[in-house]
Amino acid sequence: MNRCILRCSHFLLLNAFSFTRYTDGSKWKFLEHKGPVFAPPYEPIPSNVKFFYDGKHMKLSPGAEEVATFFAKMLDHEYTTKDIFRKNFFKDWKKEMTAEERAKITDLKKCDFTEMSEYFKAQSEARKAMTKDEKLAENERLLQEYGFCIMDNHRERIANFRIEPPGLFRGRGDHPKMGMLKRRIRPQDIIINCSKDSKHPEPPPGTKWKEVRHDNKVTWLVSWTENIQGSIKYIMLNPSSRIKGEKDWQKYETARRLKKCVDRIRTQYREDWKSKEMRIRQRAVALYFIDKLALRAGNEKEEGETADTVGCCSLRVEHIKLYPENEGLEYVVEFDFLGKDSIRYYNKVPVEKRVFKNLQLFMENKEPDDDLFDRLNTSVLNKHLQELMDGLTAKVFRTYNASITLQQQLKVLTSADENIPAKILSYNRANRAVAILCNHQRAPPKTFEKSMQNLQAKIDAKRDQLSDAKRELKSSKADAKVRRDEKSKKAVETKKKAVQRIEEQLMKLEVQATDREENKQIALGTSKLNYLDPRISVAWCKKWGIPVEKIYNKTQREKFAWAIDMADDDFEF
């Protein structure tokens, strides 16, 4: 108990009304760390590993060779067959070549990287063969040395203390910059953030940091500017840290405040569907989508800089279709667009007549690539939301709807008389309902079909085993009836137990199969980690006597330590 108090006291002493340690906007008073771990320097490949151009061996200069190895390492990936990837890569590669190389190497198709590729495959095989002690030792040393910092009297785990190594940029979806060279980050690119009175991290010998600053209004320890989009990257703390935990808690408290006023907000936006002002109607319909369908806000994006994806406010006319009647339902809207990470959102939903009529109006005289909500953007929408509730933004609706759905579904799906595996299936189904709402998809695992077959084979075997056991039970019963002695009675009991055990095992396997099948293309992790108030899950575990380890693994328990300590079995979101 004591340990628990010590562990959580650093922010559980605060309450829901004062989340943060400091009232002046500072995030910490003391911060000390060792700086980042740089990517290992380039190791030239052995001279017997050859690169061929137009069938002829060619020794590359170190700079050109390094970039060539980046491509070679990706040879098995579909990426390297894509035109844009190849074009971007070749352009950036040429920049690293010597003048002679550039003059000679003019066609990527004539480049043969296969020896390099084989070499790296062999290397990774060799690495696999290393004993785990060898691998672990180096990792552990780096982790202990660089993986922690001191922030306000606590030793905290750092999330990403390694600098991203150079390589070829892999964007998601149809990214116009895929294949570009992501350059190596050097000490002179690095900004260090720490407190003045801390021991500052030293740059590697003979190098200098770009800057050392002492900004306690931010939470990052290290930053640098990345060369593909020109955006800033950060080294920050692990989710188990006080600073991340408090923020997470705060996020769910904001969503709970939305719960209290969501009815009012819904009434209001329904009212606004009738507004005389187009701007307000658009705002109200967009908000309805965000609330009902858990769409993301949808910021504008710079054309040509990223893949063409949209969210609610950036939907275009081409992304929806209107059906006055469809499959026996009235006023159906069909959504089909690429959202974050170029994940497809496809949904057909019946909507209120007013919404439907408004959409028709918004689409009048527009081209397919015109904005659906031409009088709206995320900034306008969020300003409006801020007026409706302090701290309300578009994404709060996702958090709110995800969490409230989990809580409701758990109530509906959990039945008291089921055993633990069945209850966990119910939990996963509730989790799945949320993942579907939030459109959290995954590529079906490559081995899915096979592993499903394996599981089915196990189930069949278990069924056979069960019928054998039942037959044995039956005959032992018959036997006992004839003999009427203690020994045969006992035998019946034993057989009965065996049947029960096998039935339980079979049921467990069947549950597992159902769970896996239903989960084929759905990712549960994202909602569990980012949208579901962990106190709902903790309360559910406590209520039904489910060990919390069945729901959260070690990392998740660390991240949600605050909730595990805080929530009782009667917690209501």
228 is a site residue for DNA (CB under 7 A): yes
Q: Which is nearer to DNA, 322 or 506 (CB)?
A: 506
160 lines the binding site for DNA (CB under 7 A):
yes
Q: Does 542 bind DNA (CB under 7 A)?
A: no
- Member of 9, 13, 61, 165 binding DNA (CB under 7 A): 165
Residue 525 interacts with DNA (CB under 7 A)?
yes
Please identify which of the residues 79, 288, 400, 531 carries the catalytic annotation: 531
Catalytic residue check, 531: yes
Q: Residues 121 to 150: which contact DNA by CB under 7 A? A: 124, 127, 132, 135-136, 139
- In the bound state with DNA, the residue whose beta carbon lies nearer, of 265 and 455, is 455
Cβ atoms of 35 and 203 closer than 8 Å: yes
339 binds DNA (CB under 7 A): yes
**Nearest CA-CA partner of 113 in 105, 40, 84:** 105
- Using CA atoms, how far apart are residues 452 and 255, in angstroms rounded to an integer? 38
Stretch that binds DNA, among 148-156, 170-178, 469-477, 486-494 (CB under 7 A): 170-178
Residue 332 CB, shortest distance to DNA, in Å, is 24
CB atoms within 10 A of CB 473: 20
Does position 550 bind DNA by CB under 7 A?
no
Neighbours of 190 (CB within 10 A): 24
* CA distance linking residue 176 with residue 110, whole number of Å: 24
The residue (of 476 and 556) whose beta carbon lies closer to DNA is 556
Of positions 10, 34, 175, 283, contacts DNA by CB under 7 A: 175
Which residue lies nearer to DNA by CB, 223 or 476? 223
Residue pair 92/180 in contact by the 8 Å Cβ criterion: yes
**In Å, what is the CA distance from 210 to each residue of 194, 224, 236, 514?**
14, 9, 18, 55
- In the three-class reduction of DSSP (H, G, I as helix; E, B as strand; rest coil), residue 239 is classed as coil
If phi > 0 it is left, if psi is from -120 to 50 it is alpha, else beta; for residue 318 that is alpha
Q: Which stretch binds DNA (CB under 7 A): 6-14, 202-210, 224-232, 352-360?
A: 224-232
How many residues make up the chain in this entry?
573
H or E element in which residue 324 lies: strand 320-326
Task: For 53-91, give one letter per residue: b (16+ CB within 10 A) or e.
Answer: beeeeeebeeebbbbbbbbbbbbeeebbebebbbebbbe
**Does residue 432 contact residue 562 with C-beta atoms inside 8 Å?**
no
* Span 291-330, contacts to DNA by CB under 7 A: 296-299, 301-302, 306-307, 309, 311
Per CB under 7 A, 518 contacts DNA? no
Nearest-angstrom CA–CA distance, 334 and 322: 6
Going through 9-126 in order, the beta strands assigned E by DSSP cover 31-32, 51-53, 56-58, 111-112
345 sits near DNA (criterion: CB under 7 A):
no
CB closer to DNA out of 103 and 129: 129
Q: Does 11 bind DNA (CB under 7 A)?
A: no
Least CB distance to DNA at residue 90 (A) = 19
Task: Select 61 or 299, whichever has its Cβ closest to DNA.
Answer: 299
- Choosing from 50, 102, 172, 348, the residue that interacts with DNA (CB under 7 A) is 172
- Which residues in the 30-69 window bind DNA by CB under 7 A? none
Which residues within the stretch 64-123 sit at the binding site for DNA (CB under 7 A)? 77
Q: Contacts with DNA in 457-486 (CB under 7 A)?
A: none
Considering only residues 373-432, where is the footprint of DNA by CB under 7 A?
377-379, 382, 386, 393-396, 398-399
Among 531, 544, 560, 571, interactor with DNA by CB under 7 A: 531
Name the residues annotated as catalytic: 531
